[in-house]
Amino acid sequence: MAAPEIVSYDPSWPSVAQRWMQRIASDLAASGVHALAVEHIGSTAVPGLAAKPYVDIQVLVPRLPDEEATTAALAPAGFSRARGSRADSPGVDFDIPRPGSDPQHHEKLLYVQETESEPSVRGIILHVRRAGSSFADFVLSFRDWLRADPAAAGEYERLKRALAEQHAGAADYDDYTRAKSDFMDRAQYAMGWPRA
């Protein structure tokens, strides 16, 4: 996937997320995968925040399901298993561990759906994480912190726009993702999470 383009917030993003959350939960349940929680995460979940035009959805499961069966269950909705551009692409098979967290809890399944049926987004990114993942908790706390702190959201938006411009010619957005880590670390401390 090419380096990201950051676009202005679109108020339709929450309703797009809601439709896909219901579809994903239903498709997974039909295949025997019980979702403990399905959440709209990422920048498109923060009102007013500019973002890549991809809606991120997190599904929490008791344990990571069989990859082949999950891929088959999600295929009718157009999802395919995401593969990193590089062997160490962050956020594909493993999330970037947060300071103070257990790296073993960061294994995940990532799926992408490029959609033409939703005019305000280019696709849906689905993160399947196991319950108890500290990263799963972090992304929810980070979303809620940005929602509650307009100054922090503004700083994050400025950073994302600068990084998107800096990495505009990149073949992938691995370096863009990694470059946000310093902000994430500072956010973690501001939110009261423990230091490493």
> Per the confidence metrics, is the pTM higher than 0.85?
yes
Integer Cα distance of 108 and 93 in angstroms: 5
Total domains, the chain: 1
Contacts of 108 (CB under 8 A, 6+ apart): 64, 91, 93, 94, 95, 127, 128, 129, 130, 133
Is residue 7 in a domain?
A: no
| CATH number of the domain where residue 125 is located | 3.30.460.10
User: Which residues are paired to 108 by β-bridges?
Assistant: 129
Tell me the mean pLDDT per 10 residues along the chain, length 196: 78 97 95 93 97 95 90 94 58 62 74 87 93 87 95 94 79 67 83 64
Is residue 85 in a domain?
A: yes
**Comparing C-alpha atoms, which of 158, 55, 9 is closest to residue 166?**
158
Contacts of 126 (CB under 8 A, 6+ apart): 24, 57, 59, 74, 79, 110, 111, 112, 113
Q: Look at residue 97 in the predicted model and tell me its pLDDT.
A: 63
Give the sign of the dihedral formed by CA 33, CA 36, CA 38, CA 39: negative
Residue 131 tokens, joined: 């319950």
Domain span holding position 137: 13-190
Q: Look at residue 89 in the predicted model and tell me its pLDDT.
A: 46
Is residue 6 in a domain?
A: no
Is residue 3 in a domain?
A: no
